[in-house]
Amino acid sequence: MAKVTMALAQVNPLVGDIDANTRLVLEFARRAIDEHQAGLILFPELVLTGYPPEDLLLRPSLARRIDRALQALCEARLPIKLLVGYPRVKAGRVYNAAGLIDQGQLVAEYYKQCLPNYQVFDEKRYFEAGTQPCVIDLWGLPVAITVCEDIWQAGPMAQARDAGARLMLNINASPYHRGKTTERRALLKQRAVEGNMPILYVNQVGGQDELVFDGHSMAVDAGGKSLMQAPAFDAGLFTIELDLESGQLLPAQQTEDVCSLESVYRALVLGVRDYVTKNRFNGVVLGLSGGIDSALTLAIAVDALGADRVEAVMMPFRYTSQLSQDDASDQARRMGVKYHVVSIEPIYEAFMASLAPAFTGTQLDTTEENLQARCRGVILMAMSNKHGSLVLTTGNKSEMAVGYSTLYGDMAGGFDVLKDVPKTLVFELARHRNRVREVIPDSVITRPPSAELRPDQKDEDSLPAYPVLDDILERYVERDESAADIIAAGHAEADVRRVLRLVDINEYKRRQAPIGPRLTKRGFGRDRRYPITNGWSIGD
């Protein structure tokens, strides 16, 4: 046999459901045999638990459950070698393991050496680091096994090379963020060259709470040149041939990259679809205000779930313009979703009448604005409760950053689709989506953004223009620049100080915000852990 087919299982496991994930592994392995006569199939990191399992790793029955799953994989005695990831409990410690199953036996086991404990990752909370490389003989070829972060550092490849490996198998659960494909490619190239060996890289796909895994499995040759690339954001089984004489991988399917906007859009669609379906909601409901955030959220929801699983509710008040009402109903019609109009006027009046004794002698302020938002939140939640649907919230990253949103009002809901999408990107994505088919009325995109909580209110009355705001926010939140750095980059000091202060004092809102898909190198979730009680001054 001069050539062997290697299969990459770019699967979408359900975190915690070890039984279902084990069946998924068997199903893909059988397909790799039946459809491709493959000799080896690679599954992602921790495929048996899904990634990240978080504190499920602390459950006492974990070891038993994993043992049972591995036993089931062995007992299937499939005529293919299986490389699977799972947590291995050993002498009271847990390792992030990759095991090779061949002819009904676990023939090799590797423990991840580099444990990420930054950004969204907490692996040192759970895992003990391995200390040994694992190089095994496959059809006469010495092959190294590594797990995810191991390839982001230089050590494990150097070990593999020193141990005589001629091919690296790297199994991953690597979450998406904008631009990550480019980073990964450069990295694989560098490591392949360092080790002078080809690399097979398989990655999980799917949404898991705030993370979106993009798949995008790939292979590079010993010079780092791309030999194959699987699509992003879709599960699937992909193959590449290994020439046993030369030890080289042969060129295979090359899925073309999509543009950055399309990539973000697909990440959002996948994030919504998986959150809704994995949590078994009947569908979603959202407030449609006539503004661009809810318009884009609706388009994503329909693309993720189909129009029949999406309901939109316009909740007008005295400050809601006719244009907003027309645009909302127009968009609902274009997208074919069920559409309700529920005025909040009598509800607001009932609250104000009841609060009148407590509010005697006070002035109108943001209290009344928040009250409008909260009337709407309660209506959406009531519809969600009654119909078993999930409320999607529509707050974008710029709003989340500066607290331009109402807790228990427009923040009421289970999944915030645009949570990591800055407002300027909301506009780009809306235009991008409309290029396929114009589902968002043009006036929604071109009118100046307004919360419509006061007469003639515009967002830019209380915030810097969005391009300015978003640049300041990206520098502060994603790049950790200081106030001095941001001012030096050309922003007005008053803007910088105001925006940074707003970010700092609104941590309490974000702490109670719904989760949403992470798209950048720093989202407002597990990624950014700030104290609420916080005396840090903006200073320098």
133 touching a copy of itself, by CB under 8 A: no
> Residue 414: which of 373, 384, 378, 369 has the closest Cα?
384
533 touching a copy of itself, by CB under 8 A: yes
Torsions phi, psi of 62, nearest 5? -55, -50
| Residue given tokens 């419509």 in the structure block | 452
360 touching a copy of itself, by CB under 8 A: no
Q: Which of residues 495-524 bind a copy of itself (CB under 8 A)?
A: 508, 511-515
Among 36, 278, 431, 521, which residue interacts with a copy of itself (rule: CB under 8 A)?
278
Total residues binding a copy of itself (CB under 8 A) = 89
383 touching a copy of itself, by CB under 8 A: yes
82 touching a copy of itself, by CB under 8 A: no
> By C-beta, is 273 or 498 nearer to a copy of itself?
273
Task: Name the burial class of residue 34, with classes exposed (0-12), middle (13-18) and buried (19+) by CB atoms within 10 angstroms of its CB.
Answer: exposed
> Residue 227: which of 214, 242, 213 has the closest Cα?
242
Q: Which of 81, 109, 112, 419 is catalytic?
A: 112
Torsions phi, psi of 12, nearest 5? -120, 85
Is 3 labeled as catalytic in the residue annotation?
A: no
Among 34, 245, 256, 480, which residue interacts with a copy of itself (rule: CB under 8 A)?
480
Q: Which of 81, 114, 134, 148 is catalytic?
A: 148
153 touching a copy of itself, by CB under 8 A: no
136 touching a copy of itself, by CB under 8 A: no
481 touching a copy of itself, by CB under 8 A: yes
Q: Is 293 annotated as a binding residue?
A: yes
14 touching a copy of itself, by CB under 8 A: yes
Q: Is 61 annotated as a binding residue?
A: no
* Beta-ladder partners of 254: 229
Q: Is 343 annotated as a binding residue?
A: no
Q: Which of residues 109-128 bind a copy of itself (CB under 8 A)?
A: 117-118, 122, 124-125
Residues 175, 210: Cα–Cα separation, whole Å: 10
Residues 202, 252: Cα–Cα separation, whole Å: 14
Is 74 labeled as catalytic in the residue annotation?
A: no
Q: Is 290 annotated as a binding residue?
A: yes
Q: Are 415 and 393 in contact (CB under 8 A)?
A: yes
> Residue 262: which of 303, 204, 208, 205 has the closest Cα?
303
At 368, which amino acid appears?
A: E
Q: Which of residues 170-209 bind a copy of itself (CB under 8 A)?
A: 207-209
Q: Is 366 annotated as a binding residue?
A: no
37 touching a copy of itself, by CB under 8 A: no
Among 2, 20, 323, 488, which residue interacts with a copy of itself (rule: CB under 8 A)?
20
DSSP E strands in 348-497: the ranges are 390-393, 415-416
361 touching a copy of itself, by CB under 8 A: no
Candidates 194-202, 237-245, 288-296, 359-367 — which segment interacts with a copy of itself by CB under 8 A?
359-367
Show contacts of 226-230: CB within 8 Å, 24+ apart: 226/185, 226/254, 227/198, 227/251, 227/252, 228/252, 228/253, 228/254, 229/253, 229/254, 229/255, 229/257, 230/8, 230/10, 230/255
Q: Are 340 and 314 in contact (CB under 8 A)?
A: yes
105 touching a copy of itself, by CB under 8 A: no
Residues 15, 59: Cα–Cα separation, whole Å: 14
3-state SS of 172-189 is: ECCECCCCHHHHHHHHHH
Q: How far is the CB of 505 from a copy of itself (least distance, A)?
A: 9
Residues 471, 361: Cα–Cα separation, whole Å: 41
Among 195, 377, 441, 523, which residue interacts with a copy of itself (rule: CB under 8 A)?
377
Burial readout 237-265 (b: 16 or more C-beta within 10 A, e: otherwise): bbbbbbebeebbbeebeebeeeeebbbbb
Is 112 labeled as catalytic in the residue annotation?
A: yes
Q: Which of residues 413-452 bind a copy of itself (CB under 8 A)?
A: 414
Q: How far is the CB of 181 from a copy of itself (least distance, A)?
A: 24
> By C-beta, is 201 or 476 nearer to a copy of itself?
476
Candidates 23-31, 197-205, 261-269, 525-533 — which segment interacts with a copy of itself by CB under 8 A?
525-533
66 touching a copy of itself, by CB under 8 A: no
> By C-beta, is 127 or 466 nearer to a copy of itself?
127
Q: Is 538 annotated as a binding residue?
A: no
40 touching a copy of itself, by CB under 8 A: no
Which pair of tokens denotes residue 113?
Answer: 């050496």
DSSP 470-510: HHHHIIIIIS---HHHHHHTT--HHHHHHHHHHHHHTHHHH
Q: Is 282 helix (H, G, I), strand (E, B) or coil?
A: coil
> By C-beta, is 294 or 370 nearer to a copy of itself?
370
Q: Is 399 annotated as a binding residue?
A: yes
Q: What residues form the annotated binding site for deamido-NAD(+)?
A: 370, 399, 509
Q: What residues form the annotated binding site?
A: 118, 174, 180, 287-294, 370, 394, 399, 509
**What positions carry a catalytic annotation?**
45, 112, 148
